[in-house]
């Protein structure tokens, strides 16, 4: 089978397409013929040895896939060859076949394409955990989403609206603003590119405050980090929840006096660890997402597809924050 391998530490340009042996499922595992692999920010980090997980090389990046079961390992029940599934892989998705624990796969509903299915799990799974379990989102609250036009951001906008929140989406261009409006955003803030000086940071804080209103943002959903975080924190409501989801713009240094003045919380959202610690709760969240999809409340946006040999381009585009919605590699 073909696999796009990381054989040396570096960026997407270091990835190499090679033929390797097909994997074999062990007890409790299934062999999946991969149809599509959605690209996520951890894919850019893991090949640079900057992610929490550091697999032994060579390995293929690719953290979420959809496909068809090709073989069952010993003791697997409730699944059969030909079933369409999706799953998080951590890594290994950018290859034509992958072995996965049967306990960590989900059935793709009828009528849903495998390309679209590949774009659901990591973004919406992260966000349903972030908004429900960490953010305790309530109908009528105001939510400010930073980096709202990427895969994680657009799904956060959709879920925020599904839960009855007023959503303010912050993006870096008018093109991205149009995308978040289509996803349901009530207000849009277009911010400049960092780094910010003191005056620019203050102006952005005022722009956020004007958009969220005098009450402030009950939830700040920070997917970006860096210089964008402090201005958003300054726009938070009394007893608001600031959710740390990612930091492609860098790890923010927050003035903690603001948490005292606003009596607010800064909370981390680490969905990967949650899935391992709370598998039953995570499965319930995923079932809720499928129902939302069926009801038309959410719909993953796949903006571009790439063949396997060009997957490095997709990772580079995401890394450079040029993606709107999800980028998907098809096999």
* Digit-coded pLDDT (tens) for 224-269: 999 999 999 999 999 999 999 999 899 999 999 999 999 999 999 9
CA distances from 239 to 201, 219, 260 (A): 23, 9, 10
Tell me which architecture the domain covering 124-272 has in CATH: Alpha-Beta Complex (3.90)
* Topology match between the domains 2-120+300-330 and 124-272: yes
Q: Which of 91, 89, 88, 67 is nearest to 79 (CA)?
A: 67
Q: How far apart are CA 101 and CA 105, in angstroms?
A: 7
Q: What is the pLDDT of residue 31?
A: 98
The pLDDT of residue 53 is above 90: no
Could you tell me whether strands 142-146 and 97-101 are parallel, antiparallel, or unpaired per DSSP bridges?
unpaired
- For residue 130, give both structure tokens: 């972030």
The pLDDT of residue 109 is above 90: no
Domain chopping of the chain, boundaries? 2-120+300-330, 124-272
Q: What is the pLDDT of residue 325?
A: 86
On average, the pLDDT of the chain sits at 95
pLDDT digits (tens, 9 = 90+) for 21-40: 999 999 999 999 999 999 99
Q: What is the pLDDT of residue 301?
A: 87
Q: What residues have CB less than 8 Å from 274, skipping those under 6 apart?
A: 129, 133, 281, 282
CATH number of 2-120+300-330: 3.90.180.10
Q: Is 326 in contact with 302 (CB distance < 8 Å)?
A: yes
167 pairs with which residues across the strands? 143
Q: How far apart are CA 213 and CA 218, in angstroms?
A: 11
> What global pTM score does this model have?
0.87
Query: What is the mean predicted confidence (pLDDT) over 1-13?
Result: 97
Q: What is the pLDDT of residue 84?
A: 97
Q: Is 42 in contact with 59 (CB distance < 8 Å)?
A: no
């Amino acid at each position: 089978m073909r696999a796009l391998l990381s054989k040396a530490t570096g960026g997407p340009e270091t990835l190499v397409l090679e033929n390797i042996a097909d994997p074999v499922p062990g007890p409790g595992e299934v062999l999946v013929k991969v149809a599509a692999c959605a690209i996520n920010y951890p894919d850019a980090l893991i090949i640079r040895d900057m992610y929490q997980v550091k697999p032994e090389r060579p390995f293929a990046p690719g953290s979420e896939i959809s496909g068809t079961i090709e073989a069952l390992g010993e003791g697997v029940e409730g699944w059969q060859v030909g079933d369409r599934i999706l799953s998080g892989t951590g890594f290994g998705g950018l290859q034509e076949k992958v072995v996965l624990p049967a306990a960590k796969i989900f059935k793709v509903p009828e009528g849903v394409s495998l390309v679209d299915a590949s774009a659901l799990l990591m973004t919406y799974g992260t966000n349903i955990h972030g908004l429900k379990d960490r953010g305790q989102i309530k109908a009528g609250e105001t939510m400010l989403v930073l980096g709202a036009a990427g895969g994680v951001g657009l799904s956060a906008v959709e879920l925020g609206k599904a839960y009855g929140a007023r959503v303010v989406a912050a993006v870096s261009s008018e093109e991205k603003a149009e995308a978040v409006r289509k996803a349901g955003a009530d207000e849009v803030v277009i911010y400049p590119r960092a780094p910010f000086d003191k005056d620019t940071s203050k102006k952005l804080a005022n722009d956020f405050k004007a958009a969220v209103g005098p009450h402030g943002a009950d939830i700040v959903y920070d997917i970006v980090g860096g210089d964008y975080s402090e201005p958003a924190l300054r726009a938070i409501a009394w007893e608001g929840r600031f959710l740390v989801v990612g930091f492609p713009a860098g790890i923010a240094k927050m003035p903690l006096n603001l948490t005292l003045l606003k009596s607010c919380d800064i909370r981390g959202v680490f969905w990967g660890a949650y899935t391992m610690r709370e598998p039953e709760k995570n499965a319930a969240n995923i079932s809720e997402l499928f129902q939302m999809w069926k009801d038309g409340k959410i719909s993953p946006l796949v903006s571009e597809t790439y063949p396997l040999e060009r997957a490095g381009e997709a990772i580079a585009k995401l890394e450079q924050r040029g993606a709107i919605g999800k980028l998907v590699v098809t096999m």
